[in-house]
Amino acid sequence: MEQHLAIMVGGPCERIPVLTDINSKDLIWIGVDRGAIRLLEQGIVPRIALGDFDSVTKEEFRKIKQEVADIRTYKAEKDATDTELAVQIAFDEFTPTSVSIYGATGGRMDHLLNNIYMIFQPKIFQQASKIRLIDIQNTISYFLSGTHTITKEQDKKYLAFTCLSAVEQLSIKDAKYQLKNANFTHPVSLASNEFISDSVTFSFKSGIIAVIQSKDS
């Protein structure tokens, strides 16, 4: 049986999709710091709330304690970010088919870069293909070497192939701009490609790629 998790973190509200379009009774939520309050305000009770809770008021924290059965509090001074802890818990304590992260874009650039690059952590790397970062304008998915087919999201027009490492023999088929066995020795973003049908197939021999489906704001 497939198991899907969603993690809500504390990024800007205006970057988050409408939660009623996302939520279902089978979706397991983890609220990270202020993300827990954000879920409760939308009528969603997370399975777990975690963080140092430095971004919530005392009254909001009381509300979290009243509503959420499993609360895990961490010190602000720690080696992992709250979002990283949530992702590790998602894979250590569940067997998810997918982990979707909301509220992880916008705001501080250092937080954004940390959220994008956390998949390189040894505990997370082999699970990278199950992780997505989602906001109202973009979906970021991670791919390890092999052959993959991307299905177009209904409201998205563009896609980018962002090489997060050196990549060997990247080929892109069925897209507006195609590629055959291209090598990249350093990180690079092949931006503003476009879907011409409902799917795009690509392959590469080594490295890791973040594929971004996006639309204009």
Domain check: are 144 and 129 in the same one? no
Domain check: are 46 and 9 in the same one? yes
**Phi-psi group of 131: left, alpha or beta (phi > 0 → left; psi -120 to 50 → alpha; rest → beta):** beta
Domain check: are 150 and 132 in the same one? no
CA 182 to chain centre: 27
Query: pLDDT tens digit string along 138-158?
Result: 999 999 999 999 999 999 999
What is the tally of structural domains in the chain? 2
pLDDT number for residue 25: 84
Residues 15, 109 contacting (CB under 8 angstroms) = no
Domain with residue 156: its CATH number is 3.40.50.10240
Domain check: are 37 and 65 in the same one? yes
Domain check: are 130 and 30 in the same one? yes
pLDDT number for residue 100: 97
**Can you name the residues that pair with 172 across neighbouring β-strands?**
179, 202
Strand 98-102 relative to strand 70-73, pairing: unpaired
Query: pLDDT tens digit string along 65-99?
Result: 999 999 999 987 777 888 999 999 999 999 999 99
Averaged pLDDT, groups of 10, the chain, 217 residues long: 92 87 89 95 95 91 96 84 93 96 90 92 93 96 97 95 98 96 97 96 97 92
Q: Last residue of a domain, which of 136, 170, 187?
A: 136
Domain check: are 156 and 114 in the same one? no
Q: Last residue of a domain, which of 103, 136, 169?
A: 136
User: What is the extent of the structural domain holding 198?
Assistant: 137-217
Q: Last residue of a domain, which of 101, 136, 171?
A: 136
Domain check: are 119 and 148 in the same one? no
pLDDT number for residue 93: 96
Spatial CB neighbours of 132, under 8 Å, sequence gap ≥ 6: 98, 99, 100, 101, 139, 140, 141
pTM of the model: 0.93
Query: Which amino acid, 206?
Result: S
pLDDT number for residue 18: 87
- Distance from C-alpha of 119 to C-alpha of 209, rounded to nearest angstrom: 11
pLDDT number for residue 71: 97
**Residue position matching structure tokens 């067997």:** 95
What is the separation, in whole angstroms, between the first and last Cα of the chain? 36
